[in-house]
Chains A and B, each alone.
Chain A
Amino acid sequence: MAEFIYPKLIGAKLRSQLAYRTSFAVDFVSQVLAQCYELIVILVLFSQINALGGFTRDEVLLMYAFAGAAFGVADLFAGQLDNLPTYIRTGSFDVLLMRPLGTLPQIMCSDIRLRRIGRITGAIAVMIYALTHVAIDWTPAKVVLTVLTPVAGAVIYSAVWVVACSICFWIVEGREFANAVTYGSNAFTSYPINVYSRPLRWAMAYVVPGAFVAYYPSLALLGKADPLGLPGWVGWTSPLVAALAATAAGLVWRFAVRHYRGTGS
């Protein structure tokens, strides 16, 4: 039975959003704009300089596009976790626990906001532009990598989201902490990671595996050596990192849910 419930839930949510067409259209456009503004920032910077951290404008745009598409997809499914503090504070998390379904998928399906597709659309447009303007030695393997990268990135971001939001089980109003990691890593991964200071890089590129969302796969595609010295095959490991991150996130979530205490009344 359970496998039929989720499509039905999601379908209902999607239909309810499309019911308010004007509101949806405006929301959609502001998501596309949000993505465009980040693009403008990159373009403005490159109106003053020729290379950032040794990367040209179109190379940075490729990283930005990978990061944007991956974040958009993750936001679609995991963004709902931002509401976790409300579930915990009001005690409605109890309701999720009583249902014979996993708590995490229930929250993820609780509010799939279609307007976020606006973000993804914007990012894919830039990705197509960047892919056609940078020098890539295309091989079948690289085509697969190009397709897999946003998917792996989305899984990594979602895992980050789950882990970061799990903090809310201990600190109920911990959402802003979580945002530093979730939205922060989107801002972080849109640029080549060698521009960041060492502590920031360690925290956001390796502890939070942000470097595997866009930076290393882009290096592999471009056939460029890593200025930070990691070998070239690292760029191909993003799906593996994604799998590890997802496993870790699942374990953290289970551990966190065990520490959940209802509000009492």
Chain B
Amino acid sequence: MLAGMTTNVVFGLLRLAILSAALTAANGEIADYDIAATNTYVWIGQGLLGFVLLWGNNELAERVRSGDVVVDLYRPWHLQGALLAQDIGRGGYAFLTRLAPPAVFGMLLFPFQFPENPVRWPLFLLSATIALVISFGVRFLVEISAFWLLDNRGLYGFWNVSSGLLCGLTVPISFFPEWARDALWMSPFPALLQAPIDVFLGHGNVGKLLLYQVFWAAVILAIGHFALQRAVRKVVVQGG
């Protein structure tokens, strides 16, 4: 855990340095981000990364490949719901071990932009939790693609390399040219990281951001549900 935290902080410092240098070159502000907002963005982002678990472990896909998934499927539960419950539980632990440390680190050592209105704190928690649900939903889709692909490592790798940029981890979405920004906000990806960060920073309309997140959470969970239903029909249990 300590090792993970070190890596997290090192990457946070690197990202912060690049963005700060860019701010300096732009006379202190780019698209609503001054130095305090940038610090906040980086450290909340580094924390959320582990909280929403942007990069999963592809465990379910491995179980599909090995056939162990049969055991999961014949239990009297809704597999997606059960895994979601597990992931929310993991989130509770990750809140303390993954989200809080880099955020506190940033608050103590760098100029930090705290929410002006205290109601933003619970709203941020709500937004982060919805982000976790969407993140779970996307990871679930990537993992159950193994029912069709068998070896989903290509897709999994694809998600791992793409998600950082698409979700707004590496560069704030508002730094992008307008067409790219609009396109990204039409997609579910900013809902995983940029949206809760925006709620915290007070960028944009909170109500709109939360609605946007809830919409994508519902859509992605629904797609996962139907995809699993179809996938189960394909499963052939050999012997027993």
Contact = CB atoms under 8 A, between A and B. Distances in A.
Interface of A: 20, 22-23, 26-27, 29-31, 33-34, 37, 40-41, 44-45, 47-53, 171, 173-177, 179-180, 184, 187-188, 191, 195-197, 200
A257 to B, nearest CB: 21
Nearest to B13: A200
Contacts of B10: 180, 184
A33 B158 contact: yes
Given A26-B155, A188-B14, A45 B3 contact: no
B154 A47 contact: no
B151 interface: yes
A127 B171 CA distance: 23
Contacts of A44: 171, 175-177, 180
A182 B151 CA distance: 28
Given A179-B7, A184-B10, 6 more contacts: A20-B151, A26-B154, A44-B180, A49-B30, A175-B3, A197-B17
Contacts of B155: 26
A106 B129 CA distance: 46
Contacts of B154: 22-23, 26-27, 30
B25 interface: yes
Nearest to A191: B18
Nearest to B154: A26
A52 B157 contact: no
Contacts of A175: 3
A38 to B, nearest CB: 8
B4 interface: yes
B57 interface: no
Given A27-B157, A176-B6, A37 B22 contact: no
Contact of A48 (B13, B26, B153, B157): B26
Contacts of A180: 3, 6-7, 10-11
Contact of B11 (A27, A45, A184): A184
B218 interface: no
Nearest to A203: B10
B17 A41 contact: no
Contacts of A23: 151, 153-154
A207 to B, nearest CB: 13
Contact of B18 (A31, A51, A195): A195
B162 to A, nearest CB: 7
B161 A41 contact: no
A221 to B, nearest CB: 21
Given A173-B3, A180-B11, A51 B25 contact: yes
A167 B162 CA distance: 30
Contacts of B15: 187
B170 interface: yes
14 contacts: A20-B151, A23-B151, A30-B157, A30-B161, A33-B161, A37-B161, A40-B165, A49-B26, A171-B3, A187-B14, A187-B15, A195-B20, A196-B14, A200-B13
Contacts of A33: 158, 161-162
Given A23-B153, A47-B177, A177-B7, A37 B14 contact: no
B235 to A, nearest CB: 22
A175 B14 CA distance: 19
Interface string B128-169: 000000000000000000000001011101100110110000
A176 B4 contact: yes
Contacts of B14: 184, 187-188, 196, 200
B31 interface: yes
Contacts of B171: 41, 44-45
B21 interface: yes
Contacts of A177: 3, 6-7
A48 B158 contact: no
A22 B151 CA distance: 10
Given A27-B153, A44-B175, A52-B22, A174 B3 contact: yes
